[in-house]
Amino acid sequence: MVERAALEMRCTGNCTGGSNPSISAENQRYTIFFEMGKDKLCPQCKIRRFRVKNANGDAVVVTVNERKQIVPIHEGTSLDGYDLDVLYCLGCSWRGSVNNLI
């Protein structure tokens, strides 16, 4: 009986679905991937993350959406005082404006 107990266990509560996730879990993954795919890319190395700097040299990591809006990756982070005219790629030496992104 002990060996069969594990086979009869039922997942209750907040389940992840294991190797066979629910359709809603798959849809959520697809939505996140799809939305991420809309961000603009570095023209040199094709990554989606950049830095913007302020006068003190402090930096914030950002992405640029399809409408060319600069968005901090950490929700609630303010871009006040940061130079949004120059983006610095996190993956290579490229720097430039949102208009140069692909």
Q: What residue ranges do the domains of the chain occupy?
A: 40-94
User: Residue 86's closest CA among 46, 65, 73, 64?
Assistant: 64
Q: Cα 14 to the chain's mean position, in Å? A: 24
C-beta separation of 47 from 41 below 8 A:
yes
Mean pLDDT in runs of 10 for the chain (102 residues)?
A: 52 57 56 64 97 98 97 97 98 98 97
How much is the pLDDT for 46? 96
pTM, whole model, 2 decimals?
0.65
How much is the pLDDT for 10? 54
- Provide the token pair at 14: 């907040």
How much is the pLDDT for 23? 59
How much is the pLDDT for 26? 53
For the chain, the residue count is 102
CA–CA separation, 74 vs 65, rounded Å? 14
